[in-house]
Structure 1
């Protein structure tokens, strides 16, 4: 089968199914997965589809941003596992920034175990959780609140962050990609994430395994901008691929 004919069949399937896997296309077209991946790269460069982890989707098929409540109900064990692992990176007296998100919320719930922390956050719900613990100095940065994530964003949030400096920053991400780095569905949150990272000496990204290989609307950092990714599990191939790029990945103990 000629490449042009193969590309036509790939696009036909992507447009019909919205999202297709490399394995399915390989079987359907009777070619290797390596060949399919090369085809997808070319078609993406031409703007005809978007590559996603393990396959491709139509360019107009963008994931809808879900609310914090919806995200909180998903993969609760994995998020708790990541939060427990992350706690080992915090010492009494630390100054921290916590970004918005369901995994960072799980982490915030555990911080009452460590004394004398100064914690800056752009998440209203995380600030309330930390304040209820009664053992921290909590700084809520102000700004425009996003209804879906309870995150404070915009010029006020960014300007207030630029006046502060902390030792460690802990944030989440909707996507972690070898080429595109870290991304999120919200441009406004992406901008705040960049500022939060710039105000910390060390940056940690907390993300479960489903975020790897994904790219979303707004990229906010390259892989090299982060000191460590903490996740719940990762397949050996993906782990090795990121390690080759010099990325430090810490897999939480079960």
Structure 2
């Protein structure tokens, strides 16, 4: 049974809460309040990135919450310019300092930036963070199958997670199948489509919402969870945070799951990983 405390194993002794809270596009001046609210309503997985420019404020919220550090799973990501410049060690240490942490639960390469051809070398540096315990798990974001194949062939540690754009019209089925075959967990960013199409107006979503007395957003988040994805919704509003977390009192039927599965158009609404360099 899925609950707010459901976790997905990453490595021996390390597990990630299946639902978390993201702070992409949360203004730094709002971030501490927003993250404190998220923790207060029950989130125990916070996802940030150096490129979001709010790591310091996330760290302040973690300390202000009074929640023991070991109860909160924290992810951040290497910013593209540090990846491009090869400033990986320095960037990692600056993230730890900004967050006020001795170690991360998960550290990700934010984008592969394939035209720069540095992600293999960057990953080898990530492996040292994992080996010395400063990162309990390491992973990637926005990697496609060819990028993952190179890492598997040329490095030692299999990425624990690949965080990618994933929502009902872009379900990344081929990538997910590849990752399942190699023990790489799939984490969804933009799980509600970032408001870039009428997801909540789609008939299968509306029908399931009516059947379960739920909101369309709750239905889509529940679909992610039952699919097996790790999911990181975001909101600046405390009541919406609580609503997004309230997805454990109902279960989508097999027919409802298939109907949402059938919405897949293999269509991105975000940037293509091969084009972000």
- TM-score normalised per structure 2: 0.31
Answer 1 or 2: which has greater strand percent: 1
- TM-score normalised per structure 1: 0.33
